[in-house]
Amino acid sequence: MKKQQAIIDTPLGSAILEGCEKGVSGFRLTGKHAKPTSLPSCLEEAARQIHEYFRGERKTFTLNLNPEGTPFQQSVWQALTEIPFGSTLSYSHLSRSLGNMKAIRAVASANGRNPIWIIIPCHRVIGSDGSLTGYAGGLQVKQWLLEHEQPVKQQRLF
């Protein structure tokens, strides 16, 4: 099946959504402003759920996913989908949950190659010390996403 694409607006800028009837295969920020395009029918539900997420109306995605990657990458990406909304875990915890504590670097590499940002929530993985370590979209984007998912928003006094 041929992949189709659409550009959608998000609070973080323009993003490219990709997929086919088998499921979503890509979602990433473009890094620049681009005019939204019409949505192929196979991407309409994904776009709807993404917009609901950004409006704070959705905490989980119920989409068919079809990312391309090695079996190891697939296993890491599947584990990422199990991190609850509003939660984080460390790379070492993720490695341990996959049964190989020594695979931290490989897990981090697979995390960084996640082609379906936000839907496969790689932004929820942080350093063991709680630091916001690497994120392909930039640490500001990662911080924004984690703050967006916080159940209690801190009120600003000034």
**Residue of 122, 125, 145, 146 marked catalytic:** 122
Known catalytic membership, residue 122: yes
Neighbouring C-alpha atoms within 13 Å toward the C-beta of 19? 27
The pLDDT, as a whole number, for residue 157 is 59
- Given a contact cutoff of 8 angstroms between Cβ atoms, the answer to whether 1 and 20 are in contact is yes
Q: Calculate the alpha carbon distances from 25 to 45, 66, 125 in Å.
A: 14, 5, 21
Give the mean pLDDT per block of 10 residues along the chain (158 residues): 92 95 95 87 97 96 96 95 94 90 88 94 90 80 92 61
The pLDDT, as a whole number, for residue 100 is 83
The pLDDT, as a whole number, for residue 158 is 57
The pLDDT, as a whole number, for residue 152 is 64
- Name the CATH architecture for the domain at 71-148: Orthogonal Bundle (1.10)
The pLDDT, as a whole number, for residue 35 is 87
Give the start-to-end residue ranges of the domains of the chain.
4-54, 71-148
pTM of the model: 0.89
